[in-house]
Amino acid sequence: MSIESVVASGLCMQCGTCAGICPQEAVTMNWTLRGGTLPSVDARRCTKCGACREVCPAAGLDLSPHAWWRDPATPNTQDFLGPWRQLYFGWANDPAVRQAGASGGLATALLHGAFTEGIIDAAICTHLQPHRPLVAEPLVTRTTQEVSDCRGSKYTMVAVNTALRTAADQPGRYALVGLPCHMQGLRLAQRRSPLLRQRIVLALGIFCGWSCLPQATAVAARRAGMDPGALTSLTYRGPGWPGGMDLVGRDGTRRFLPYPDYFDRFTNAYTPPRCTLCPDALAELADVSVGDAWLERFADSAGVSDVIVRTERGQRLVERVAPAHLCLTEALPQEILDSQRETFRLKRSVFRGRLWLRQLARRPVPVYPGLATRASAAERMRALADVGSEAFLRLVANVHYR
């Protein structure tokens, strides 16, 4: 299957790995409001070497106990939680970093520590274009201030792994911050490229239920009375926890939409179908994974993250930077699972229903060896109802929130 056919089938994860790895630079990522960031191939440059397909995670992920990406030295593994060495709840030691972050500033503080301790020379993060804030793109940061400028969640599609080209072309030790799909593409790229294995020294995974097409943000802005084309500033989370979406227009108009309230039926209607076919919520292929700790006892805090240390490399990093940069307290596996109940529902029950629905439509589906994927009757009925509701809501939004 070619990259073009992956896109046509609806299985593209928009991770950007194909563009980041192509030796001929024949693959480019193209942003549209309705489609997100999708690859296209320049036939004049393409030599049909197969590199782009080799690193594409669209076909699925081997989740069996002896999958190629699993480290046999990692002592623990569990369905949904994935492999792990240490589990924590944590936040940034610096109160200012904690307040500015999406869930305690943990990811920002971890990168700050990696820079300060001389572990990395650069970090591949995500930022919003200054003059087109609906467009998210990767940014290679080389200072702690640049990392801070990228902090906070971005609930929109971004092709983070296009920046693998920079890592290959410019020597240094890199961290890559991304969602589960980016982690999957990264590991496939590293499997192929010894140079990327050497240079990407930290994979920092961010928990993900689903992401959204850029049009979801545009609809949220319209519903708040803002012109999405006239936005000069946009943030999805923070300051404080859980924060919210902050919209600023050219005329100085400002709207604040609390999180997670703005994630309503209209927003969810613009979830890329491929996101609903991914069972990896907690970035199982990362060195360290982080995400909001949705537990009642943290409801009045300034933000707390689940922290899953998965690899020996991740363990060394956390142990080295924690004393100065992180406040950590040990967590139990069930506590992490309890904090992700809604994400578990999306990545197991809803996932199975959507997978069944695509199979029913005789459309290509990703394959997940080692994972139970058979949908129950209730999950099938829910999938049918949800798809119908989403189509209706998109129709309404196209009429009323153009």
Q: How many Cβ atoms sit within 10 Å of the Cβ of residue 235?
A: 20
Q: Is residue 374 included in any domain, yes or no? A: yes
Q: Is residue 356 included in any domain, yes or no? A: yes
114-to-143, 174, 300, 334, 401 alpha-carbon distances in Å: 11, 10, 29, 29, 43
Q: Is residue 373 included in any domain, yes or no? A: yes
Let me know: does 39 contact 3? Beta carbons within 8 Å: yes
d(CA 268, CA 282): 20
Q: Is residue 232 included in any domain, yes or no? A: no
Note the pLDDT tens digit of each residue in 24-72: 999 999 999 999 999 999 999 999 999 999 999 999 999 999 999 999 9
Average pLDDT over residues 81-97: 97
Average pLDDT over residues 259-279: 93
What's the chain's average pLDDT?
Answer: 96
Average pLDDT over residues 360-380: 97
Confidence (pTM): 0.97
Position 400 scores a pLDDT of 83
Q: Is residue 190 included in any domain, yes or no? A: no
Asked if residue 260 has a cis previous peptide bond (ω within 30° of 0), the answer is yes
The domain in which residue 379 lies consists of 349-400
Note the pLDDT tens digit of each residue in 311-323: 999 999 999 999 9
Average pLDDT over residues 196-218: 97
pLDDT band of residue 269 (cuts 50, 70, 90) is: very high
Average pLDDT over residues 103-107: 95
Note the pLDDT tens digit of each residue in 130-176: 989 999 999 999 999 999 999 999 999 999 999 999 999 999 999 99
Burial of 299 (0-12, 13-18, 19+ CB in 10 A): exposed
* 3-class secondary structure per residue, 128-174: EECCEEEEEEEEEECCHHHHHHCCCCCCCCCCHHHHHHHHHHCCCCE
Position 44 scores a pLDDT of 94
Q: How many domains does the chain have?
A: 1
Q: Is residue 372 included in any domain, yes or no? A: yes
The sign of the torsion formed by the CA atoms of 230, 232, 235, 240 equals: negative
Q: Is residue 353 included in any domain, yes or no? A: yes
Average pLDDT over residues 192-205: 98
Q: Is residue 16 included in any domain, yes or no? A: no
- pLDDT surpasses 90 at 362: yes
Q: Which of 81, 12, 10, 105 is nearest to 281 (CA)?
A: 81
Q: How many residues does the chain have?
A: 402
d(CA 317, CA 135): 32
- pLDDT surpasses 90 at 1: no
Q: CA 3: distance to chain centroid? A: 21
The sign of the torsion formed by the CA atoms of 274, 278, 281, 287 equals: negative
